Amino acid sequence: MRVVEWIERKRRGGHLSGEEITQLIRGYVAGDIPDYQMSALLMAIVFQGMDEQEITSLTLAMADSGDRLTYPKNLGFLVDKHSTGGVGDKTSIALMPWLAAMGVPIAKMSGRGLGHTGGTIDKLESIPGFRTELNQAEFVQQVEAIGIALAGQSGNLAPADKMLYALRDVTGTVASLPLIASSIMSKKLASGADGIVLDVKVGEGAFMQNEADAQVLARQMVQIGTQSGKKVVALLSRMDEPLGYAVGNALEVKEAIDTLRGCGPDDFTELCYALGIEMMLLAGLTKSPSEARHKMKEAIENGQALEKMRQWIDAQGGIGDVVIEPEKILPRAPFVLTVHAPQSGTIEKIHALAAGEIAMRLGAGRATKTDKIDVRTGLVFLHKVGAELQADQPLVEIHARSEQEALAVQNDVLHLFEWGNHTSKIPPSIVIGRVVAEVEDVDTQLLATAQQAMKQAYVPYSRFPVGAALRLASGRIISGCNVENASYGLTNCAERSAIFRFVSEIGVEHDRIVAIAVAGDTEEAIAPCGACRQVMVEFCSPDTPVYLSNLQGKRVQTSVGELLPGSFGSSQLRSHSRDC
């Protein structure tokens, strides 16, 4: 491998090919590329950035560096949700059973917390007996049985990302949008969901401090997922104050339960609605946002969402009755100190980052990966930004292991608040932006791969090279070219070469084709022959998109069903066998 050459090229702002990036990731995971060379490359990426194809190639290489989770087809369209992290973010705990109650299958892998942002796994483990370590068989079986499972991330899920993140953490290369986007999406692709809804936090308590950077990150992640054959939507949500009222593991679980009982905080409830609507639309369970919202509201009012949470907790070894009596079952801090308002006025700001850091000092978070957390501790805010208070009104509760620890942070808690004399206003929307795939971005990489495949064509007789590329549900891209023979009837077209390669190298049991691109040097966009159309019908659904192009930039988008309407297929063979 020419690692030094690749580092120098990226340092000058040059482009790395998909094959070069794949070799780099494989070599690093195998131990063939040392840390000092990978560190140099990462720093070059921080300064020079990466283009769209490089970011997608890096993501796929990391996703392919370990296990990729697969699920039985009978589970239907699986939708996952990811948050970039914030203070008081317990969204998955409430939203996952809420959606599962309405028929959206949930199979989610989550992580632990580090620093001021809490981890979903830590929060769930505050429920007595709740088990987060499930093997893949248990995980899939539970989704089949009750429609929901949430577990800790597999040790071999995207191991390249774990290695690279550890290196970035100690080399000053964390703050790079291409590296952040590829890190997040590599784990999401390896987790095997069909659709992904991203919650990109913006503000003081989030990694992305301003909306412009959050928009760039969201766009990059949506683009990666879309080019990998996934349906992806990103929402930008405010993180200028803690989400909801509770910050701390058991405290946040209780707040999630309260939300499914219909009495959760307004900002948190509204975020759950916004994300849930997007997930239901991706899964195809509703046709409009208003219909999705109505169904979500019904699931709260009739108790189905809360009952699904109870089933889920029971299935993973926890005490399901915690949804009925959270105050009795969840662990509670030995000492609770109520801090009162130091003055009259309106709360103009609550510093989210500092709130998360105080909760961490109380024991609710980790400063290092080896730290143990105390799930009982944290903060409960009694008011939100915009509230008008009188001096000495209760302001916030400190849940601590001792009176001494509570008193040690009391002054810092008071400094979380900024006060004014303005009359309260209607709070701004929790969701401040939405990012979806641009139509043109969907097929660009696939068409480029098809054109590249033309160069490999064996066409000594016709001199007519054709290339084809398949995008698979896993995000992989498989290419093929036409291969001629002196006995003309034995010639294989590019489309069939690519499909047969997919069947032989990967197999229909492990993946599926979600898009096809074909390229040729023709006056109009090239058209597949009849035999290739029949083969497409065999291995693709009728609505699978097919992109046809020539080298002059002409493109036609169609589908497998449109290319061969009224096709002969396996269903007719089964019908004939029944008649016999």
Residue 211 is labelled as binding a ligand: no
Q: Distance between CA atoms of 448 and 53, rounded to whole angstroms?
A: 10
Residue 485 is labelled as binding a ligand: yes
Using a 10 angstrom Cβ sphere, with 0-12 exposed, 13-18 middle and 19 or more buried, the burial of residue 219 is buried
Distances in whole angstroms, Cα of residue 126 to Cα of each of 130, 153, 250, 257, 485: 8, 18, 5, 13, 66
DSSP string over 165-196? HHHHHTTT----HHHHHHHHHHHHHHTT-SEE
Torsion angles phi and psi, residue 442, rounded to 5? -65, -40
Residue 529 is labelled as binding a ligand: yes
Residue 532 is labelled as binding a ligand: yes
Residue 100 is labelled as binding a ligand: no
Torsion angles phi and psi, residue 454, rounded to 5? -55, -30
Residue 126 is labelled as binding a ligand: no
- 144: which 2 tokens? 């089949």
The residues annotated with a catalytic role in the active site are 495
Q: Which one-letter amino acid corresponds to residue 470? A: L
Residue 474 is labelled as binding a ligand: no
Of 51, 54, 28, 20, give the one whose Cα is nearest residue 161: 28
Report the 10 Å Cβ neighbour count for 531.
Answer: 12
Residue 484 is labelled as binding a ligand: yes
Q: Distance between CA atoms of 9 and 16, rounded to whole angstroms?
A: 8
In the chain, helix, strand, coil percent, each to 5?
Answer: 45, 20, 35
Contact assessment for residue 514 and residue 469, using Cβ atoms and an 8 Å cutoff: no
Residue 483 is labelled as binding a ligand: yes
Residue 580 is labelled as binding a ligand: no
Element (H, E) at 104: none
Contact assessment for residue 366 and residue 439, using Cβ atoms and an 8 Å cutoff: no
Residues within the annotated binding site for substrate? 482-488
| Binding residue ranges for Zn(2+) | 493, 529, 532
Residue positions in the annotated binding site? 482-488, 493, 529, 532
